[in-house]
Chains A and B, each alone.
Chain A
Amino acid sequence: MLDKPWNNRAWFFVIPVLVFVLFSSIIPMMTVVNYSVQDTMGQNNFFWNGAAWFQNLLDPTTDIGGRFAAALVRNLIFSLVVLCIELPLGIAVAICIPRHGWRVGAALVLIALPLLIPWTVVGTIWQIFARQDIGLLGAALNSVGIHYNDTQDPTSAWATIVVMDVWHWTGMVALLAYAGLKAIPDAFYQAARIDGASRWSVFRNIELPKLQKVLVIAVLLRFMESFMIYTEPSVVTGGGPGEATSFLSLDLVKIALGQVDLGNAAAMSLVYNLITLSLCWIFFTVMTQLEQRKGS
């Protein structure tokens, strides 16, 4: 990393991307900033509203503030839960992927398949699968006496969303971990065999340390994706029952596109974006430091 030559003309290569990002990210963000400090009486008449939207949003005693805080907590819990399931499961699946022959390709394709299904369709699949009348899962659970109804009962709804996310995304963690495992030279395993190391100690002392880098990427991608989850729950539960699965993006879309409450939506967008940005920065710093430590 450090031996790269210093050359400011490299900026010319970056200009197309830069211009595009200006158009695609900065201009829309400025619209949001604009809405976040103004209020309207209708007919496109806007007037200065200072930081009032933000004060409301960040004060949990107000209507919108309480709603935002609740959605934030809900979303953080959701992200942690899916990470705690998907990471170990993904690593386990990666270890079980065959190493030779045609089965490697077949297993990789099958594991990756859920990732290529449009998110609405993932929602549709699980909406159908979980129904009590025509869905296999819902019917099976109810027939063995478990009270399960994902549109009425908050626990069922949460369980469905979590299981759906695990179904949808564990493949990505598995593929990442598999890429990391494949990069470990055979010599390491041979040395462990000579030492008579147990399977667990091979995992603990050889595989896990080597997986560190890909696992940071996995955590980054999984956390961010689950923190902005929208489509799948919006199809399956629509944020309900009540507000039980109303995560940040669902709430934001409701306010912005459903109620067209521009001020609140804009303030919420900015705060939401700022939270993601700071979390992203933490992950990025950890990742670049890992890369540097490996380089030196």
Chain B
Amino acid sequence: MRIQGRGIAITIYLLALFLPIYWLLNMSFKTNGEIMSGLNFWPHHVTLRNYAHIFTDPAWYLGFVHSLTYVALNTVISVSLALPAAYAFSRYRFIGDKHLFFWLLSNLMAPTAVYAMPFFNLYYSIGLFDTVWAVALAHCLFNVPLAVWILEGFISGVPREIDETAALDGYSFPRFFIKIFLPLIANGIGVAAFFCFMFSWVEQLLATTLTTVHAKPIVAVMTRVYSAEGMDWGLLAAAGVLTMVPGAIVIWFVRNHIAKGFALGRV
């Protein structure tokens, strides 16, 4: 009985979760005429026009390309910078380690709105403004600390004896790190990469502040539809549905580790 009660509770929660998404999905298959003419619980004249528009208009599909490019760049940069640092924090004590760790954490927690204006100045002056690199580097502000934090948690779960045994067996440090250590924390790297992907993919304020034309992310394309072309609700809904796809795909790969990842590797 009790197990059944829980099953019902979680089902209700998930249904409530999906109600707004269902409404978006429903709307994305309708024409604007049908959307404005009243409430329908399913599209009476299913149309793929909204999706076709996104896949054929460069302004729209390039938005997806830009977003995915800076997200990928950011994930690679963040994880590779964070790996050695996480190893150091996990294995050794050194002067200022605790202060540095807190300082990193404070960057993770700093309000992005505070950085919008100075980042604009910074990337404008070094000539990276309106490139995917500007956004990729800007997102490192919170993704590098996050990756360090997650990886530190996972690395601390690997016994130090392994490092010592490898050293005794005559492995040089770089060889040990790449051949033995990286495979051991593969899960941690996957989870860290997932989180970098996630926070770079969902962020909007910096991504739109640092781009105008050539690297416009999909979220910026979406906001500009509001003012310019009036309210094209169907198109907006279709774009919204498509932005959920990359997230849903990567989530599937880390589903078994995601809970531990959200605990920042600290369970």
Contact = CB atoms under 8 A, between A and B. Distances in A.
B121 interface: yes
Contacts of B256: 105
B10 A93 contact: yes
Interface residues of A, number: 97
A141 interface: no
A135 interface: yes
Interface in A139-176: 139, 167, 171-172, 175-176
Contacts of B212: none
Given A113-B248, A199-B2, A125 B21 contact: yes
Contact of B205 (A139, A230, A262, A277): A230
B122 to A, nearest CB: 6
- Secondary structure of the A contact surface, majority rule: helix
A29 interface: yes
Interface in A65-119: 92-93, 95-98, 105, 107-119
Interface residues of B, number: 94
Interface residues of chain B: helix, strand, loop or mixed (majority):
helix
Among B82, B91, B246, B251, the one with the most A-chain Cβ atoms within 10 Å of its Cβ is B251
Across the A-B interface, the 8 shortest Cβ-Cβ residue pairs: A116-B247, A28-B118, A13-B88, A228-B111, A249-B113, A179-B259, A10-B92, A10-B88
Given A115-B247, A117-B202, A249-B205, 19 more contacts: A24-B141, A107-B10, A109-B248, A111-B14, A111-B17, A113-B17, A113-B248, A116-B247, A117-B243, A119-B219, A120-B204, A129-B23, A133-B36, A172-B262, A178-B259, A214-B263, A253-B116, A280-B106, A281-B106
Interface of A: 4-14, 16-18, 20-21, 24-25, 27-29, 31-32, 92-93, 95-98, 105, 107-121, 124-126, 128-129, 133-137, 139, 167, 171-172, 175-176, 178-180, 182-183, 199, 213-214, 217, 220, 224, 227-228, 230-231, 235, 248-250, 252-253, 256-257, 262, 265-266, 269, 272-273, 276-277, 280-281, 284, 288, 291
